[in-house]
Structures are given as C-alpha cells and as structure tokens.
Amino acid sequence: MDPQELPSAADDIRKEMFALIPDVKIYEEDEKGNKKYGGDEIAGLVSRMKAALNLDETWEGRLRYWSTSTKLVNTGKKGYLIAISDEMQVYPGGLLKGGSYIKVQNEPVLGAGATTLFFVPR
C-alpha cells in the first residue's frame, strides 16, 4: 500500500462529505450496520471529487460506512480508495488516514468503523 495525499481541492470535498454524513440519506443499511449513502448532495460531492481527481465519466464513486471488517468486492481489481473518516485500517497495507487515498489493484479488507469513497470503473 502506497498512500498518497489528496489534492487540496479533493480534501476539501472529503471534509464536506464527512461533515454531511450525519444528515444525509442512508440509501441502504444491512443487518450488520454497513451503510450505503445516497441523495443529491452526496451525488454532487462525488461528482466534484471525481473532477478534482481528474477521473472521467467511466468511473463511479460509492460512499459507504463499514461497521464490520469487510472485504471490498472489486471484480476489475482496479480503483481508488479514499479514507473519508479520520483513519481506517486496510489489509494488506496498514493505516490509511483521512485526506489520503490508495490505488487499489486487489480486493482489500477494511477494518471496522471505516467510512470510504471507492471509485471503480463502470
């Protein structure tokens, strides 16, 4: 894992997302407490984040909260994982701090309590 800092504009968007989470729509929540966030505000922030990272329209972003340790399904073995919360554990790898991201070429396992934005190709 080789974490990189988000560009300043992208980190500002990350902070906006983090601040909005208590007030945004939970699109879906499973029995373990894992949450999918949605709604117009989140969609707008995801779109702005995509532009700040120079990702084109072939990428889609997913904002999630993982209450339990979870293996991310990444069938294309390609993506960008952004820590929205202050920090999260990623296996293999280590600690990913808020304001940083990693390029993903596998199906990482996230530690419990992680809020992430995960961009994958459509």
Domain boundaries, the chain: 4-121
Higher pLDDT, 77 or 63: 63
CA distance 29 to 122: 23
60 to each of 33, 49, 88, 110, how far by Cα in Å? 23, 11, 21, 19
Instruction: State the pLDDT at residue 27.
Output: 87
66-111 pLDDT per residue, tens: 999 999 888 788 999 999 988 899 988 789 999 999 998 888 899 9
Cβ–Cβ < 8 Å for 89, 110: yes
CATH of domain 4-121: 2.60.120.10
Instruction: State the pLDDT at residue 31.
Output: 94
**For all residues of the chain together, what is the average pLDDT?**
92
Instruction: State the pLDDT at residue 119.
Output: 95
CA distance 75 to 18: 27
- What does pTM read for this prediction? 0.91
Reduced to 3 states, what is the DSSP secondary structure of residue 35? Answer: strand
Whether the predicted pLDDT of 1 surpasses 80: no
Instruction: State the pLDDT at residue 2.
Output: 86
Transcribe 62-120 into DSSP letters.
EEEEESS-EEPP-TTS-EEEEE-SSEEEEETTEEEETTEEEEESS--EEPTTEEEEEEE
Cβ–Cβ < 8 Å for 117, 14: yes
Q: How many CB atoms lie within 10 A of CB 85?
A: 18
Confidence of residue 44 (pLDDT cuts 50, 70, 90): very high
Instruction: State the pLDDT at residue 34.
Output: 94
Whether the predicted pLDDT of 58 surpasses 90: yes
Cβ–Cβ < 8 Å for 67, 85: no
CA distance 78 to 115: 19
Calculate mean pLDDT across residues 22-29.
90
